[in-house]
Amino acid sequence: LLAIAAASSTAAESSDQTLYQGAQVLKLKLKTDAQKTLIGNLQSEGKIEIWKRFSNGMVVDALVISSALTAVKDQLRKAKVEVQVMIADVAKTIKTHNPTSDVKRKQTPMKKGAKIKIAEIYNLTFTQYNRLSVIYGYLDFLARNYPAFCTVQSIGTTVLGTEIKMLKIAGSVQPANLSLVIDGGIHAREWISPAAVTYVIKELVENRTLYEFATKLDYYIIPVANPDGYEFSHTSSRFWRKNRRDPTSSCPGVDLNRNFDYMWGGLGASSALCSETYKGKSAFSEPESQAIRDVMTTIGTSAKAYIAFHSYGQQIIYPWSYKALLTNDSADLDKMGKKMAAAITSAGGPAYTVGNAAIVVYLASGVSDDFAKGGANIKYSYTIELRDKGASGFLLPASQIVPTGKDAFAAVQAMSLELIAGA
Ligand code: ARG
Ligand code: ZN
């Protein structure tokens, strides 16, 4: 029996509890350009931190720390902005959204001939957001127990020297002529993304024999593409987004999803080190984005699809993102996107909006899906923003991991079946 000690303290650290005590997330409904300007000013003055924009920027979810709350609400009221309180106490919600257990993790030995429930044998739980070591331990466990089709590869090390692990789930017909690349956790605070991708892995491995497509497809899955950022968001700062480049600088981190070499440094990316969308020193300056690039480019022509899982907003978006412009095969991408959205609702999930990234979300340059399409020539390239639609945002309760994992798996399965059918 192998016992893996659970991290004794997860959830938020005390600094977060101090910083976000009494902080709120507000949902702002705008009607005029003047109101939009006000929101932009509040953001550049550092009085609000924007989590998400919907409806062409007319709906904005914004975090306001307690010391700024009265003044900000005052300004919003004077400008006649409609304000809804989305999260009434951020510190409290940080504490409660990820209930942790102190239960020691134990692996149950596998019984010969038993119907495999690999996640149970590893004692993997989807009722809480797992730490990096638990997710990596699961990948290694799969590789040990299913060496015929599961391999763990180290695809690079981060700026802090942390391994970036990828699980390859190989089809039984080799060489496969179709490959699907999936990543999660490019943005640290979007905890549902690694969780949902881990759920996808569990489904693909446990039900491998049930899915005909698994025989023809190779999956290359990186559940935590920004492991340093992910851990930092668990131990120190819940809403950390970037990687951990230069941790001792006053503004550490590069936005990995602005660091890819396709229209790098264009609109929707920042040159300011302190910005949440800081693009980095140069395209692919970061080992984490390099690692994803190398996976995409070394697979070669069998690479047919790429999905980057992010949160939140329930959106399935496709290139281009650097400009409100469609690719010349955009009809194919739209059709595939709608198949994935339909599969999610058929599986009991909620509606996901399908469309062009720049139009549905906002302009962003140097993103991974633009690179997959334009730099690595992967036809079906998507970013999927998982749950929710702006109720809990990044603080999605852990009880939503399984249902959201089902959304992600439904999308991956629909994509796989379409590729097999010769999309
Ligand atoms: N959360 C994502 C980001 O800001 C939004 C998607 C950007 N667009 C894209 N096509 N990836 O990076
Ligand atoms: Zn993201």
d(CA 131, CA 174): 34
pTM over 0.80: yes
Matching residue, tokens 């945002």 = 393
Assess contact for 58 and 32: CB atoms under 8 A.
Answer: no
Assess contact for 252 and 244: CB atoms under 8 A.
Answer: yes
β-sheet bridge partners, residue 317: 355, 383
What separation in Å is there between the alpha carbon of 2 and the centre of ligand 1? 39
What separation in Å is there between the alpha carbon of 365 and the centre of ligand 1? 9
What separation in Å is there between the alpha carbon of 266 and the centre of ligand 1? 14
pLDDT on residue 120: 78
pLDDT on residue 7: 41
Q: Which residue's C-alpha comes closest to atom 2 of ligand 1?
A: 310
The catalytically annotated residue of 203, 288, 385, 418 is: 385
Shortest-distance atom of ligand 1 to CA 277: 4
Q: Which residues have any ligand 1 atom within 6 Å of their CB?
A: 257, 310, 317, 321, 357, 361, 364, 367, 369, 383
385 is catalytic: yes
What separation in Å is there between the alpha carbon of 349 and the centre of ligand 2? 21
Q: Which residue's C-alpha comes closest to atom 3 of ligand 1?
A: 257
d(CA 139, CA 131): 13
Residues near ion ligand 2 (CB < 5 Å) are 187, 310
Q: Which residues of the chain have pLDDT under 70?
A: 1-13, 101-106, 113-116, 209-215
The two three-digit tokens of residue 172, written as one number? 């039984």
Residue among 289, 311, 367 to mutate when testing ligand 1 (max atoms within 8 A of CB): 367
